[in-house]
Amino acid sequence: MKKLIILTILSLLILIPSPLIANEASESSNSESLTNKIKEKLQETAEEGLDNIRNEIVSKSKTPKKKAFIGNLKSINESNLTLEYKSQVFKVTLDENTDIIKSSGSKTLTIDDLSIDDFVIAMGFVLPDTDDLIAHRILLISAPKPSISRQLLSGKINEIDGNKISIDSKSLVITAKTNLKIKDVEDPKVEDLELDDNLFAIVTLDQNGDINLIKQILILPGKNNPAALQPTNATTATDSATATDSATLEE
């Protein structure tokens, strides 16, 4: 019986067409090859994309950037300028294409028209890996006016020398532009000030932080100032205090 089963299986295998078996093997092989090709193509596309992105980044990093520097001229020659603004120093390179223009009237200038401490705007391009500006245009303009800085000073007067007074090592000069007020004193003057008076002053400062102008001073008189004394209610003379006949001396 077993021999009969084995013979039957062998007969079936012999009867199966060999081309069918070969086709199945071929289809399996083709499918695997196609999958590998798709994977390779995707890999190539991804690598190409990364290369493009990398090249674009490198290209942008090598591209000159538009920039402008402002400041006062500290050095001048035919090919270079040095600018200074708020303690920062900028180097500017000039070439034959650099235009020098005065802002008022758009007048064309030459390098000889520029002077030390002139205020300019340098416009151009900055190359990668450098801070130097290759100037396309130099614009000569008026220096901006510094903003007014006001400050309140207060303290006791410790020195008076004419119109000059001192508080806490700071000196103030009272001028005709100073609005001086002293409490309880009409038409106050510098002569009405005394040591140890309490002073409150509104002043403006210059660029270096020094006192430029004293606009207003308020004085609260101290112990040395007569204006600080409170008036007393002195008893006034009455009729009873007048001399009488009995109080007179006779010779």
**pLDDT, tens digit, for every residue of 45-80?**
777 777 676 666 655 566 788 899 999 999 999 999
Pick the more confident residue, 110 or 4: 110
| Neighbour count for residue 6 (Cβ, 10 Å) | 9
CB-based contacts of 195, cutoff 8 Å, min separation 6: 156, 157, 158, 159, 160, 222, 224
**pLDDT, tens digit, for every residue of 192-225?**
999 999 999 988 877 677 787 888 999 999 888 8
For the domain 149-228, what is the CATH code? 2.40.50.320
**Amino acid identity at 171:** S
Structural fold of domain 65-141: OB fold (Dihydrolipoamide Acetyltransferase, E2P) (2.40.50)
Residues pairing with 138 in the sheet: 100, 122
Q: Do residues 217 and 190 touch, judged by C-beta distance below 8 A?
A: no
- The reported pLDDT for the residue numbered 239 is 47
CATH code 2.40.50.320 region(s) in the chain: 149-228
Q: Do residues 97 and 133 touch, judged by C-beta distance below 8 A?
A: no
What DSSP character marks residue 186?
S
Report how far residue 137's alpha carbon sits from residue 123's, in angstroms, rounded to the nearest whole number.
Answer: 5
CATH code 2.40.50.140 region(s) in the chain: 65-141
The pTM is what? 0.43
What percent of the chain stands above pLDDT 90? 33
- The reported pLDDT for the residue numbered 43 is 76
Average pLDDT over residues 82-108: 89
